[in-house]
Amino acid sequence: MNVVEKIIAGDVRTAARLIREIEDEHPETRKTLQKLHTHTGNAYVIGITGAPGVGKSTLVDQMIYHLRKQNKSVGVIAVDPTSPFSGGALLGDRVRMQRHSLDKDVFIRSLAARCHAGGLSASTQSVIDVLDAMGKDIIIVETVGVGQGEIDVVKSAHTTIVVVIPGMGDEIQAFKAGILEVGQIFLINKSDRAGAVQTLENLKAMIALNQHKLSAEGWVPPVLMAEAVHNKGVAELLQTAEDHRRHVDALSLECKYRHNREKAAAQFSAMIKDRLVEDVLKQLSATRRYQQAVDAIAQGAKDPYSACDDLLSAILRISLEKEE
């Protein structure tokens, strides 16, 4: 069988090898992904995001446990911080899920963020497609620890769960724009800590103030409490995620189309941006003009702002002259 057939058949080694090649940006992988795309669209993608230390990995581990009890096959993509030395993932998230490593119906993969802003790796959507084509029922995407504005997970997930813990900020912090505006479900983990009730009230107040944005599809995000390390509240969280899935399925065709189109536009724009930056920068860095500009900046003869403007203006002028 070829690579596509093996992945559709659920071959773990072939999938792992393809994901490795996707991360290494092998040009051949694009053709494989093109052929796999017609076999995607069946998995349900759940995004788990939140600041570092809120217990995302422990929560995902417990979610896998409950989903396997329901006989669901599960794929997990854990985006880890990038090592400044090797450029690879530190694998901290994957270590916390070791008890599922021998389960043939669970596929766990760590990806290095590689300084990609937004909480995800640039290759995350491609890896989601691979796991989807493998036949996984549920795909959980755990972002690297993120801040207020890093919300790329919403482009890839059907249901986004924002995880917080008590004591991470006052009332004003809860109302900040950014990550707290993208969740379909809010989860207060480590809810046995002091301040859990206050955090619950803060989040509910934030949702009430932004209800015109948050409930555009008629869904008001619930706020749940959990203690993932003790397996408390995880089953209720999964049931709420299923409720959100049913809610989206029940939307009118017009609302569904608008929802799907927004996601498609976000993913497509991100793909174009990444490809343009990668290709243009690769071509630019090989030119004499680029090297001369770098030398001028390094020698202090020119500031980087002027050098950037001059280089891009020259290239655009040359391109226009060629067209004429």
Max CA distance (Å), the chain? 69
What residues form DSSP beta bridges with 82?
Answer: 89
Nearest to 244 by CA among 131, 128, 162, 150: 162
Pairing of strands 106-112, 44-50: unpaired
Helix (H, G, I), strand (E, B) or coil at 55: coil
**Cα angle: 179, vertex 80, 22; to 5 degrees:** 105
Predicted local confidence at residue 1, as pLDDT: 64
Predicted local confidence at residue 197, as pLDDT: 92
Predicted local confidence at residue 172, as pLDDT: 47
Nearest to 131 by CA among 12, 24, 254: 12
Return d(Cα 157, Cα 159) in angstroms, integer.
5
Model confidence band, residue 117 (pLDDT cutoffs 50, 70, 90): very low
Return d(Cα 266, Cα 216) in angstroms, integer.
18
- The answer to whether the beta carbons of residues 116 and 100 sit under 8 Å apart is no
pTM score: 0.81
Helix (H, G, I), strand (E, B) or coil at 230: helix
Q: Domains along the chain?
A: 39-250 (3.40.50.300), 270-323 (no CATH)
E strand residue ranges, the chain: 44-50, 74-80, 106-112, 138-142, 159-164, 185-188, 223-225
Mean model confidence pLDDT for the chain:
82
Mean pLDDT of 199-208: 86
6-20, 97-111, 158-172, 199-213: range with highest mean pLDDT = 6-20
